[in-house]
Chains A and B, each alone.
Chain A
Amino acid sequence: DIQMTQSPSFLSATVGDRVTINCKASQNINKYLNWYQQKLGEAPKRLIYNTNSLQTGIPSRFSGSGSGTDYTLTISSLQPEDVATYFCLQHNSGPWTFGGGTKLELK
């Protein structure tokens, strides 16, 4: 199975900061990488699919990039409503596998 290593596991930032979250796959996942936001008590919400496609209705401050084994979610200007846990998911081959999550809080 493909392993996904997500970093950092915890992030504290200020409103307006540029925030980056990383996921590293144990092998090439051919850009089949999605990003999710999950708030307490809710189901995950897909933000980005296939590395860099922005889900309809998601603010443009969210963006994704990467290739091969290394992928990044960027929030260009952190807003208070972005406080949440973020997960990556690879769906290239074999079973889906998720990153361990990044808990984002306001400083």
Chain B
Amino acid sequence: QVQLKESGPGLVQPSQTLSLTCTVSGFSLTSNSVHWVRQPPGKGLEWVGAIWSGGSTDYNSALKSRLSISRDTSKSQVFLKMNSLQTEDTAIYFCTRSGSQYWGQGVMVTVSS
């Protein structure tokens, strides 16, 4: 069945780079897009960006200068890298497949020294 699972460090220091991995199973990355969505504690959902089935990417315009999304289709993994992290980037980060029916469980990222 379709599954997504996020992984990465729970704590990142301010100004450092966040690296997250979304490992998927049950579907092909070359046939489906994967999106990243984040949710600050107690707040709403924010679309971060996506990598499309053909490999092109789109980013939230407010994050674009700090963000990179890539993938390794052989490993069924999607990667998110965000640099110059600030406390406002503290959030649960989710990955979700195109259609947004299937979501990972999310990974909490805290930006703090």
Contacts and interface: CB of A to CB of B under 8 A. Distances in A.
A43 B103 contact: yes
Contacts of B35: 96
Interface in B54-108: 58, 60-61, 94, 99-101, 103-106
A73 interface: no
A1 B62 CA distance: 11
Which 6 pairs show the lowest CB-CB distances between chains A and B? Answer: A43-B103, A96-B47, A98-B45, A101-B44, A46-B101, A100-B44
B44 A49 contact: no
Contact of B94 (A1, A34, A43, A89): A43
A4 to B, nearest CB: 10
Interface of B: 35, 37, 44-47, 50, 58, 60-61, 94, 99-101, 103-106
Given A43-B94, A101-B44, A49 B99 contact: yes
A87 B61 contact: no
Interface residues of A, number: 19
A92 interface: no
Contacts, number: 42
Contacts of A96: 35, 37, 47, 50, 100
Contacts of A55: 101
Contacts of B99: 49
A52 to B, nearest CB: 16
Interface of A: 1, 34, 36, 42-44, 46, 49, 55, 87, 89, 91, 95-101
A87 B46 CA distance: 11
A97 B44 contact: no
Contact of B58 (A36, A87, A95): A95
A87 B112 CA distance: 29
A34 B101 CA distance: 10
Nearest to A89: B100
A90 to B, nearest CB: 10
